[in-house]
Amino acid sequence: MNRRPVFLMSVLAFGFAFFYVPILSMIVFSFNNARLATVWGGFSTKWYAKLFANDQVLDAAWLSVRIALTSATVATILGTMAGIALARFRRFRGRTFFSGLVTAPLIMPEVITGISTLIFFILISNLLEAAFGWKTQRGFTTITLAHITFSLTFVTAIIQSRLRDADIAVEEAAMDLGSRPWQVMKDITLPIISPAILSGWLLAFTISLDDVVITSFTTGPGSTTLPILIWSKVKLGVTPDINALATITVCVVGLGVIIAGILLNRAERRRDLDAQMAYRANE
Amino acid sequence: MQAAAQAETVRASAVDPAPFIRIDGVSKYFGTFRAVENVSLEIRKGEIFALLGGSGCGKTTLLRMLAGFEEPTKGRIFIDGQDMTGVPAYDRPVNMMFQSYALFPHMSVEKNVGYGLKHERMTDARRKERVREMLELVQLSQFAHRKPHQISGGQRQRVALARALARQPKLLLLDEPLAALDKKLREHTQFELMDIQHKTGTTFIVVTHDQEEAMILSDRMAVMDKGEVKQVGSPTEVYEYPTNRFVAGFIGSINFAEASVVSVAGDLAQVEVPAFGGRMSARAVPGLAAGQALTLAVRPEKLTISRGRPDLPNAVQGVVSDVGYFGKDSLYKVRLPSGAVLTAHSANARRAAEAERVATWEDDVWLSFDPSAAILLTA
Amino acid sequence: MTEISAANTAPPKPRTARLRRWFHRRGWADLTIATPYVWLTIFFLLPFMIVTAMSFASRTPTSPPFSFGVDGSFLNFENFARLLEDDLYRRAFLISIRNAALATLLCLLIGYPMALGLTRVSRSARNVLLMLVILPFWTSFLLRVYAWMGLMGTNSWFNRLLTSIYNGLVPDDWAIRSIQMMHTNFAVVLVTVYSYLPFMILPLYANLEKLDLTLDEAAMDLGSRPFRVFLDVTLPLSIPGIIAGAMLVFIPACGELIIPGLVGNPSQPMIGRVISDEFASARDWPMASAVSVALLFLMVGPMMLYTHFEAKAQEKKAMEP
């Protein structure tokens, strides 16, 4: 069809401008020499220097990374289990309820998840103190537990959709060739979904690294993650060092996504080419 | 040839001989790929015209240019005297029955059939009436309120046909109309299509890769290869009088042998066929000269197989290397002393036990054919 | 030698053998189901049930600050009664719904043509553009909100640009010095659209990309002009994508805490703010719980029911021949 969708292309252009102008503006102003973050006062990299000299920021970043690594790993294991259970075990008691339980955190407003988790942790902590005299404090553990719960549902969604697309005949073939169900899972199913497991982990990692609302409810004194630190600073207004921090984040993430995208794209093109060659060879 | 032409006039009595659709030197290039190359065709009003060819031969591109989904790179298309250049699909007096049927999944059968009428100026009552008529024509009245996914494949095909015919197009394009149906249903539907065409009198252009479908359905057909039209003619002409090697080989099965002309006398030509180990006589084609190299072709069913030497000018001896029994006929592969293998079909007209058949493995047999059955191909 | 091989081939202790047999036959499957099941029950369902129960409790000056059956009856409906009576809650709900609905509508108006546009560009361009849609989603949510704070401030180049455009269009005596964008509902809607637009584009794109283009051709062949084709074919067939995208935007936008907290009008709190204020500032856990439960019933409930029935209908469709 050779009609030119002028309207669609203009909206597309507008949309991408909308997406990227604020980010670009933020990056430009991170190199601003002036104290005011919104008025240009010459080029400078001093805010980056200031940022790296700030122990508070580095500590918060390190805590965030530790929480994200732990919670992403546990969430991936649990989420993969749940995804396999929902996609491959056709019937078990409470299946409908289970599938509801897995999707509920996805559509639950974060405030409610945050509040209910906090109340739960407070009550548990009171209970522990009353029963064993064990004084507990919210921090790394509570944040990590909350992040695992929240992000495992995203992993489940990814695994489930990958398994739904996968050809079940491959697993049946393995079973036909003498594998026990458990071996089929280990030898066939898990290798097939390993890319999905990886992307699930990455998603869980970024969700944890990025979370403000749930963390703000489950954190305790002395446990300041990077988003919580930014949140408390940003509440006071726009400052150039946050611009610098934002620029670093955008660059790191952007590079990661672009590299991943190029690799995926190349793999896809490779596959297409191979398929074409095979087709030609058969002709 | 004459008999064939006579049959043709009888069959095409309802067809107006003046060209109704004129495809004039049309080419279509996608980048450097030449999908359609300089095609000129004239299609008459009220006929079923088939575009036959393998995948990638350009037949679908040609159809899409007629529908208005693609613009020709070169050349022009006229429908009923009107130049279609620059006329978008929605303004053409042409409708299409898609290979996938392209039924709107969110609309009922009735809504699908009536969709094209939304743009016609007519009263609601008339529109309803027309939908009813169309559904009756394809015998789907009782399914009017079903959604496409609630009816069978054959029924879907008929909805697609009714939808395309509802606007009373001057030309109906059918893209592989029977490809998605199973064999039994296909045979039945072929005749149904012809019947509906007869009732409505609409000009049909059918794109197909299935030669049998093209032979049964069409009044005339064009055989295409690599974007070019190789031959245009009635099914009989194309089958019995192919003008080139491609068409002869594409339609049905055939035995080819290299030959050279020895002499031409009136209606008959003597040709030397090394593979057959001697001279054969064949019906001459215009413009033959002694010494000219050409191809001799014989259809398997025109070869007679016998134990004894037949009293015919064209006879070759060989050994049966393979036998295939199909029930209604049998296939014999006969190896000649030159090493060439000829395929012969013979109808099993009599009931016979295995031992009573004409020939079996390793039998010495004679193959013979009438000079009129031999096709001389210069291209 | 014989002794060693005998020791090697000796059957393992009966208990571990039984355990291993159990694991291979049924156990691995049971564990796969039970582990996440138990986890979610403890860390998601249980807290949620506590909150639901707490919405029927009374606030008391104890620690923790609630108890059941203060005024005789075990279940206390007073929190819900206050929810209906007190203007604060009604207003917060209305503002939340209005802001979220507006943001959802704008996301749809921008996101739909963008998603449709993405299906019409070449495959290689499409991969790059899709990556560009997802890229902001991977960067910090907080920083995306922050980026707009920089743009909307009265001193920013963006605000000055808009101001001069406005001043150029209106008579001189209407001229203004700057546009008040920060701390308005407009800012909340704008930043919500910005933050959630990918959630609208991606499901829509996934839906539109799967649509059969021959349906468009068929409609065109039957006499419809391109816009008519869009109305008759593309739009109705993309309704599932529209609903999915709208839900992904509307629900979190309703309960949004960060965006109104940073760029919103403090005197017009949204429901998320009210919940967290009741909890933290007023230490009224039962009331915070009641507002949460009400939010779920009012907004999330209907949508969950819708998806449930939609899934049922899809299943039924798949069962038919």
List all residues of chain A from 95 to 124 with a beta carbon under 8 Å from chain C: 98, 101-102, 104-105, 107-120, 122-123
The answer to whether C212 faces chain B, any CB pair under 8 Å, is: yes
ipTM of the complex: 0.88
pLDDT band at B42 (very low <50, low <70, confident <90, very high): very high
Residues B124 and B48 in one domain: yes
Residue B45 is predicted with a pLDDT of 92
Interhelix angle A55-88/A95-107, rounded to 10 degrees, is: 150
Distance CA B312, CA B373 (A): 12
Residue B285 is predicted with a pLDDT of 87
Q: What is the count of residue pairs from B and C with beta carbons less than 8 Å apart?
A: 66
> Which range (A246-255, A256-265, B369-378, C222-231) has the least confidence?
A256-265
- Rounded CA Rg of chain C: 28
> Which range (A1-5, B350-354, C53-57) has the least confidence?
A1-5
> Which range (B40-49, B56-65, B351-360, C230-239) has the least confidence?
B351-360
Distance CA B180, CA B102 (A): 12
Whole-structure pTM value: 0.83
Residues B237 and B316 in one domain: no
Residues B268 and B368 in one domain: yes
pLDDT tens, residue by residue, B233-245 = 999 999 999 999 9
Q: Which residues of B touch A2 (CB under 8 A)?
A: 70-71
Q: How far is B88 from chain A (nearest CA, A)?
A: 10
Final residue belonging to a domain, choices B249, B280, B310: B249
Residues B191 and B287 in one domain: no
**Are residues C212 and C292 in contact, defined by beta-carbon separation less than 8 angstroms?**
no
| C86-283 homologous superfamily | MetI-like (1.10.3720.10)
Residue A226 is predicted with a pLDDT of 92
In a domain? residue B302: yes
Residue C73 is predicted with a pLDDT of 67
Instruction: Walk along chain A (283 residues) in steps of 10 and give the mean pLDDT of each run.
Output: 72 94 90 76 86 89 95 96 87 83 86 94 91 88 95 93 84 82 84 88 91 93 91 84 87 81 74 74 56
Of A223, A103, A246, the closest CA to residue A161 belongs to: A103
Name the average pLDDT for chain B: 89
pLDDT band at C123 (very low <50, low <70, confident <90, very high): confident
Residues B140 and B190 in one domain: yes
- Which residues, 6 or more positions from A143, have their beta carbon under 8 angstroms from its beta carbon? A67, A215, A218, A219, A223, A225
Task: Decide the pairing of beta strands B82-83 and B203-208.
Answer: unpaired
The CATH number of residue B372's host domain is: 2.40.50.140
In a domain? residue B19: no
Of B77, B50, B169, the closest CA to residue B116 belongs to: B169
The answer to whether C236 faces chain B, any CB pair under 8 Å, is: yes
pLDDT band at C71 (very low <50, low <70, confident <90, very high): low
| pLDDT, mean of residues B339-358 | 84
pLDDT tens, residue by residue, B189-241 = 888 889 989 988 899 999 999 998 899 899 999 999 999 999 999 999 999 99
Distance CA C151, CA A28 (A): 12
DSSP codes of every residue in A194-209: HHHHHHHHHHHHHHHH
Residue B12 is predicted with a pLDDT of 46
Residue B3 is predicted with a pLDDT of 45
**Are residues B377 and B245 in contact, defined by beta-carbon separation less than 8 angstroms?**
yes
In a domain? residue B4: no
Which member of C151, C254, C262 has the closest CB to residue A22? C151
Distance CA A231, CA C262 (A): 9
pLDDT tens, residue by residue, B85-129 = 999 999 999 999 999 999 999 999 999 999 999 888 888 999 999
Which member of C221, C225, C236 has the closest CB to residue B106? C236
Q: How far is C6 from chain A (nearest CA, A)?
A: 28
Q: How far is CA B183 from the centre of its chain?
A: 17
Which member of B90, B98, B150 has the closest CB to residue C214? B98
In a domain? residue B372: yes
List all residues of chain C from 66 to 125 with a beta carbon under 8 Å from chain A: 110-111, 113-114, 116-118, 120-121, 124
Q: Which residues of A touch B70 (CB under 8 A)?
A: 2
The CATH number of residue B47's host domain is: 3.40.50.300
Q: Which residue has 């001896």 as its token pair?
A: B317
Distance CA A248, CA A61 (A): 12
Query: For residues C136 and A112, which has the higher predicted lDDT (pLDDT)?
Result: A112
**Are residues C223 and B119 in contact, defined by beta-carbon separation less than 8 angstroms?**
yes
Of C248, C168, C237, C186, the closest CA to residue C208 belongs to: C237
Of B92, B104, B65, the closest CA to residue C221 belongs to: B92
Residues B261 and B230 in one domain: no
Which of B66, B98, B101, B104 should one mutate to test binding to chain C, selecting the residue with the greatest count of C CBs within 10 A? B104
Which of C211, C215, C221 should one mutate to test binding to chain B, selecting the residue with the greatest count of B CBs within 10 A? C221
| pLDDT, mean of residues C84-95 | 91
Distance CA B236, CA B280 (A): 24
Residue A152 is predicted with a pLDDT of 94
Record: contact B71-A1, CB cut-off 8 A: no
Residues B230 and B328 in one domain: no
What's chain B's length in residues? 379
pLDDT score of C315 more than 70? no
Residue C12 is predicted with a pLDDT of 53
The answer to whether C230 faces chain A, any CB pair under 8 Å, is: no
Name the average pLDDT for chain C: 86
Residues B97 and B137 in one domain: yes
pLDDT band at B15 (very low <50, low <70, confident <90, very high): low
The count of domains in chain B is 2
pLDDT tens, residue by residue, B140-178 = 999 999 999 999 989 999 999 999 999 999 999 999 998
Q: What are the residue boundaries of the structural domains of chain C, listed by start?
A: 7-54, 86-283
Query: For residues A164 and C114, which has the higher predicted lDDT (pLDDT)?
Result: C114
Distance CA C258, CA B353 (A): 90
Final residue belonging to a domain, choices B218, B249, B280: B249
**Are residues A19 and C130 in contact, defined by beta-carbon separation less than 8 angstroms?**
no
DSSP codes of every residue in B224-246: EETTEEEEEE-HHHHHHS-SSHH
Residue C6 is predicted with a pLDDT of 44
List all residues of chain A from 204 to 243 with a beta carbon under 8 Å from chain C: 206, 209-210, 212-213, 227, 230-231, 234-235, 237-238, 242-243
Residues B85 and B230 in one domain: yes
Residue C11 is predicted with a pLDDT of 53
Q: Enumerate domains of chain A plus CATH numbers.
A: 56-237 (1.10.3720.10)
Q: Which residues of C touch B69 (CB under 8 A)?
A: 217, 220-221
Residues B293 and B213 in one domain: no
In a domain? residue B1: no
pLDDT above 70 covers a percentage of chain C that reads: 88
Domain span at residue B271 reads 253-377
- Which residues, 6 or more positions from B370, have their beta carbon under 8 angstroms from its beta carbon? B302, B312, B314
Residue B248 is predicted with a pLDDT of 94
Residue C173 is predicted with a pLDDT of 84
List all residues of chain A from 2 to 41 with a beta carbon under 8 Å from chain B: 2
Residues B356 and B372 in one domain: yes
Q: How far is B63 from chain A (nearest CA, A)?
A: 14
Q: How far is CA C158 from the centre of its chain?
A: 29
Residues B138 and B281 in one domain: no
In a domain? residue B75: yes
In a domain? residue B12: no
Backbone angles phi, psi at A278, to 5 degrees: -60, -40
pLDDT band at C76 (very low <50, low <70, confident <90, very high): confident
